[in-house]
């Protein structure tokens, strides 16, 4: 039996956008164990939300994760609306879909660029982020801000999308499709990408279920689970079907995200075409009381918000379960048996966001 060595991976590493440390146990170049060390970016956001009035927390929740900003605001707004038994206008529900899917496109293109960078494929990295830049510009035109969108509100949304802007949005996304096609062609045929991703970090369907994987990490292992199928916002009226791959490796998780870029473009188009006329926000009155749970599908997977109200302007308790937190046990299942050189790509394949995992 070969002697074992324990080495740190992180918290500073070129492939990690945020700090986490994995203590890897190696036999020669093979990983035989991994133990995570988290807490480097804990900010106490849940406690801060309990100290502020519930109406001002929307902007705070967006900063749990800058990349997933709108869906955090949406999850929080839904949990407060549930406590207040508030009804959101139909037009606002469609606008929430539009903003959520624009954010999903930008997040997945960011991931594809980071993966290309981790593989040393700088030209592909720049192409992915060039396409993403156009999507971020669309987010600024429709929501008023880049990345931190600030367009969700308790009872609806803050910004409407008129006919001219809706037409421009659909036209711009249609123009981006050929550019995404070129990215897909490279991802599908480049020898280096396939060698570094196919068969690496395999997670079987049974392992994904046992470890509680969510999002593309789960769907890459053949599990057709997606919170959007519950029909929150206007997803129930848009004929949504989850994207699934069955190989369960780093490549399958990447393909799920790539295919979801196309799907999100289509969802934005259909939501804008079917969006009814009417108000974009309902008037909210009262103080939250009782308990409620809100679930949404963030780009990285299921995002859960729990809130408890006590009849005052402040929440008695707010709890957030972010998708990266759920995907850490699957990651620790993927790593044993891989080569040390595969650890960066496998870690990146769950699209980790430690800011929202630790808050």
pLDDT tens for 149-206 read 889 999 999 999 999 999 999 999 999 999 999 999 999 898 888 999 999 999 999 9
Burial classification of residue 169, based on how many CB atoms lie within 10 Å of its CB (0-12 exposed, 13-18 middle, 19 or more buried)? buried
What are the beta bridge partners of residue 306?
A: 293, 319
**What angle do the packed helices 163-189 and 250-274 form, to 10 degrees?**
160
Domains of the chain: which residue ranges? 42-358
pLDDT tens for 56-74 read 999 999 988 888 889 999 9
Phi and psi torsions of 111, nearest 5°: -60, -45
Q: Specify the CATH number of the domain 42-358.
A: 1.10.645.10
pTM beyond 0.85: the answer is yes
Residue of 157, 176, 23, 179 lying closest to 78 (CA atoms): 157
Distance CA 303, CA 71 (A): 8
Phi and psi torsions of 160, nearest 5°: -95, 165
- Residue-level pLDDT at 172: 96
Q: What is the pLDDT along the chain (359 residues), one digit of tens a residue?
A: 568 888 888 788 777 777 888 898 999 889 898 898 887 888 888 899 999 999 999 999 998 888 888 999 999 999 999 999 999 999 999 999 999 999 999 999 999 999 998 888 899 999 999 999 999 999 999 988 888 888 999 999 999 999 999 999 999 999 999 999 999 999 989 888 899 999 999 999 999 999 999 999 999 999 999 999 999 999 999 989 999 999 999 999 999 999 999 999 999 999 999 999 999 999 988 999 999 999 999 999 999 999 999 999 999 999 999 999 999 999 999 999 999 989 989 999 998 888 777 77
The 8-class DSSP code of residue 57 comes to H
Buried b / exposed e over 53-68, threshold 16 CB at 10 Å, is ebeebbebbbbbbebb
DSSP track, 180-210: HHHHHHHHHH-HHHHHHHTTTT---HHHHHH
Reduce the DSSP state of residue 131 to 3 states and report it: helix
């Amino acid at each position: 039996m070969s002697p074992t060595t324990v080495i740190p991976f992180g918290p500073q590493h070129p492939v990690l956008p945020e700090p986490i440390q994995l203590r890897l146990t190696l036999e020669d170049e093979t990983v035989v164990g991994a133990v995570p060390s988290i807490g480097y970016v804990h900010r106490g956001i849940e406690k801060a939300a309990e100290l502020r009035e519930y109406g001002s927390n929307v902007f705070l929740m967006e900063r749990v994760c800058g990349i997933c900003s709108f869906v955090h605001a949406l999850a929080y707004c839904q949990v407060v609306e549930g406590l207040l038994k508030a009804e959101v206008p139909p037009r606002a529900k469609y606008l929430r879909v539009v903003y959520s899917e624009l954010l999903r496109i930008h997040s997945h293109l960011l991931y594809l660029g980071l993966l290309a960078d981790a593989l040393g494929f700088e030209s592909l990295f720049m192409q992915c982020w060039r396409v993403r830049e156009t999507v971020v510009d669309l987010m600024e035109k429709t929501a008023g801000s880049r990345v931190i969108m600030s367009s969700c509100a308790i009872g609806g949304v803050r910004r409407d999308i008129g006919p001219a802007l809706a037409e421009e949005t659909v036209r711009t996304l249609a123009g981006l499709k050929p550019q995404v096609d070129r990215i897909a062609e490279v991802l599908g045929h480049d020898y280096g990408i396939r060698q570094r991703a196919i068969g690496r970090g395999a997670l079987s369907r049974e392992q994904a279920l046992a470890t509680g994987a969510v999002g593309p990490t789960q769907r890459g292992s053949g599990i057709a689970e997606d919170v959007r199928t519950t029909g929150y916002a206007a997803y129930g009226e848009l004929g949504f079907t989850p994207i699934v791959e069955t190989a369960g490796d780093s490549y399958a998780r990447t393909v799920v995200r790539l295919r979801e870029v196309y799907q999100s473009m289509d969802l934005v188009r259909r939501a804008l075409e079917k969006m009814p006329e009417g108000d974009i926000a309902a008037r909210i009155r009262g103080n939250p009381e009782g308990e409620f749970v809100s679930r949404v599908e963030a780009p990285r997977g299921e995002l859960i918000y729990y809130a408890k109200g006590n009849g005052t302007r402040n929440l008695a308790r707010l709890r957030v379960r972010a998708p990266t937190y759920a995907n850490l046990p699957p990651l620790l299942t993927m790593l044993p048996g891989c080569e040390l050189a595969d650890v960066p790509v496998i870690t990146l394949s769950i699209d980790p966001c430690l800011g929202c995992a630790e808050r």
